[in-house]
Amino acid sequence: MTHASPADIAHLDHAIALAQSARDRGDHPFGSIVVAPDGTVVEGLNSVVTRRDPTGHAETNVVRAAAAALDAATLAASVLYTSTEPCAMCAGAIYWAGIARIVYAFGEDELRELVHAQEGIPTLALPCREVFARGGRPVDVIGPVAREGARTVHEGFWV
């Protein structure tokens, strides 16, 4: 497994800032970006509450936006950065989008220490690596990467 580069760290910090923005507007505290090889950045914030969309996770939102903005070859060569490890649904969206590398800050197992249910629904204990392992192509996963704010953006939210 590769390690996070200084550029990866900067992009993760951007995703964490987006997670704070999502929280500040009343959504779940998750943020993601897709960075294309030419440096183009596409942002995604969680919109579960504000759009009343249970599939409005930051990663699914950024995959939709990136797929609309980038051609398939560019999307496949891009990297998805996210504040928290993608859930099974988001991992599926990332896989189907053809994205071959993701980097995340806060682990799904760490999140489960803070939240056992979202809106009364128990969380899935299914790491993204397990979802990707079932696919027919490799997805390089870097994470968890310890970043200031990755945990604190969640603290006090899930009560």
CB atoms within 10 A of CB 66: 25
CB atoms within 10 A of CB 116: 9
Choosing from 43, 59, 85, 108, the catalytic residue is 59
59 noted as active-site residue: yes
Handedness of CA 153, 118, 87, 48 (dihedral sign): negative
Q: How far apart are CA 135 and CA 119, in angstroms?
A: 30
Catalytic residues: 59
